[in-house]
Amino acid sequence: MLDRAPTAAEMQLDRLLNAILRSAVETLGYDAATISARHNGTLTTIAATNQRLIALDEAQYHAGDGPCVTVLDQHEPVRLEQISADPRWEDFRTTAEHFGVTSSLSLHVPTEGLDDVAASLNLYGRNAPKPSEPGSDIARAMAEQIGMAMQAAEAHKVTASLADGLEQAMQSRAVIEQAKGIIIAQRGGTPDEAFERLKALSQHGNVKLRDLARRIVEEHAVSGDGRGPDGDGRAAETPPPAPAGADESTPTGF
């Protein structure tokens, strides 16, 4: 359960995964489908067409074994036409009987592009569909679609992170340019000299260059008459002290 609001990319991925699961259920003749995922050793169900049948996945997570867990590392599908006749996974078999599920198919989802993530597509049925070669091919194709969707979402996440970083860098540069303009207006000199003055104040006060620039801009706006933060038409020579260990700024440190 997320302790924050889902991002637009996460909501889009959720809709896409559920659409693939509904298509798998309808095409392959099962009654429900889920996606199991393992990340940093933790197992969870990230999508399901029937919330009640997530209990089948959870029984396997609790036991540390079962079809959906097995195919996380094994690429061969696990098909059970009669779950009650298979002696391997008692917890899974008991839970399936409780929910009236008699058959299952679990497939490995390729997630090679994701860091420490493994996933499986799981289909559960109250009546066993007849196995067929075309059906197996379709099931594998849907597992691949799920993997591609998950990897695309991760790529979107990385891209969004880069975009946020670039936006913050642009905002920092903008406020620094404003602070340089204020210093030039108050003290004269060139843009390079204004930047050197900002650097010196930043290092003297042990505060980041962008934070110092923001303070100068904000205090200039508050004064409203072009007077500096000291009330004498000049920018403050000494910024407020920063916590010990704060980074010293450099010309490229913003």
Tokens, residue 140: 């594998």
pLDDT, residue 87, reads 93
Distance of CA 189 to the CA centre of its chain: 47
For residues 63 and 242, give the distance between their C-alpha atoms in angstroms, rounded to a whole number.
Answer: 52
Indicate if 16 and 123 belong to the same structural domain: yes
The single-letter DSSP state of residue 52 is: G
Residue 248: the pLDDT is 37
pLDDT attached to residue 9: 72
Q: Where are the alpha helices (DSSP H) in 51-132?
A: 54-63, 67-73, 90-98
Torsional sign, CA 104, 15, 20, 41: negative
CB count within 10 Å of CB 200 equals 11
Query: Domain for residue 42, yes or no?
Result: yes
pLDDT at 22: 96
Same domain (yes/no): 81, 137: yes
**Is residue 231, in this structure, part of any structural domain at all?**
yes
What type of residue sits at position 95? T
Same domain, yes or no, for 39 and 124?
yes
Q: What is the dihedral of CA 5, 6, 7, 9, to 10 degrees?
A: -170
**Per-residue pLDDT at 191:** 84
Per DSSP bridges, beta strands 78-80 and 42-48 are unpaired
The pLDDT, as a whole number, for residue 187 is: 86
Amino acid at 159: T
- Return the structure tokens found at 43: 């197992």
Q: Could you tell me which residues come within 8 angstroms of residue 31 by beta carbon, excluding any fewer than 6 positions away?
A: 25, 50, 101, 124, 125, 126
Same structural domain, 204 and 138: no
Within 87-230, residue ranges assigned H as helices are: 90-98, 133-187, 191-205, 209-223
Give the predicted TM-score (pTM) of the model.
0.63
Spans of the chain below 70 pLDDT: 1-6, 130-134, 156, 158-167, 169-170, 224-254
Residues 6+ apart with CB under 8 A from 12: 153
Range of the domain at 219: 189-254
Total number of domains in the chain = 2
Q: Give the tens place of pLDDT for each residue, 161-175.
A: 656 665 676 677 778
Residue 137 is assigned to a structural domain of this protein: yes
**CA–CA distances in Å: residue 164 to residues 155, 157, 160, 169, 185:** 14, 10, 6, 9, 32
- Let me know whether 202 and 150 are in one domain: no
**136, 236: one domain:** no
CATH number of the domain bearing residue 26: 3.30.450.40
What are 132's two structure tokens?
Answer: 């067929």
Which residues contact residue 44 at a Cβ distance below 8 angstroms, ignoring those fewer than 6 apart? 36, 37, 61
Q: How far apart are CA 214 and CA 76, in angstroms?
A: 58
Residue 2 lies in a domain: no
The total number of residues written for the chain in this structure = 254
